Amino acid sequence: MKKPITIVVIAVIATILVTSAVDYSAIGAKPSHEIHAQGIARDNGDFVCPDGSSKTFESTAIDIFFSEEQRGNKGYFVANGITAPQEQLFLSSQLYQGSIDSQSYLLKGIDRVHSTLCGLENNELQEFTVWGECGRNVVINFETDLGVSGNSIGTVICV
């Protein structure tokens, strides 16, 4: 009589051990698709120099692309503008890290500033931060660690 009880007890213990070792939750699951932010602005833009002086661009072009799934360089940021007396702004950065969700993005990169504004020396290496909300007619913000900043209205799609 003891043999069938022993077999049943062993079977129950084995069932408990097997089912408790399997994680049935999906809480830690990562999405299987790439996560991207892509943005564009073709509007007036504001630019602030490290000394606090500001300029408004009559024409600004901003382009952003970022993919979390890429290795190394994950994307780029470019801001290009011209003011009335032909002052030119050209900022570009390769983006290496960031976070994106369906509502907002925060991206970081390092590159050089190419500008005739603010007495900046061309090709000075700076850290870039680009951030804002996702959607249409949203503010696209950017700044560098040396005090250059600006923004423009555009569209950023985050998926």
Domains along the sequence of the chain with CATH: 36-158 (2.40.160)
Q: How far is CA 108 from CA 31, 84, 96, 111, 152, in A?
A: 22, 30, 6, 10, 18
Cα–Cα distance for residue pair 129/42, rounded to 1 Å? 20
For residue 37, what pLDDT is reported? 73
* Predicted structure pTM score: 0.71
For residue 125, what pLDDT is reported? 80
For residue 25, what pLDDT is reported? 40
Tens-digit pLDDT string for the chain (159 aa): 556 665 555 554 555 544 444 444 444 434 434 556 777 777 778 888 888 888 777 767 788 888 877 777 888 888 877 766 667 777 788 889 888 888 999 999 988 766 666 766 666 788 989 999 999 888 889 898 888 888 888 888 888
For residue 107, what pLDDT is reported? 92
For residue 133, what pLDDT is reported? 93
Backbone φ, ψ for residue 6 (5° rounding): -60, -40
Which residue do the tokens 């509007």 mark?
A: 43
For residue 101, what pLDDT is reported? 85
For residue 29, what pLDDT is reported? 39
User: Which token pair is 155?
Assistant: 């569209």
Cα–Cα distance for residue pair 51/6, rounded to 1 Å? 83
The answer to whether residues 79 and 90 touch, using CB atoms and an 8 Å cutoff, is: yes
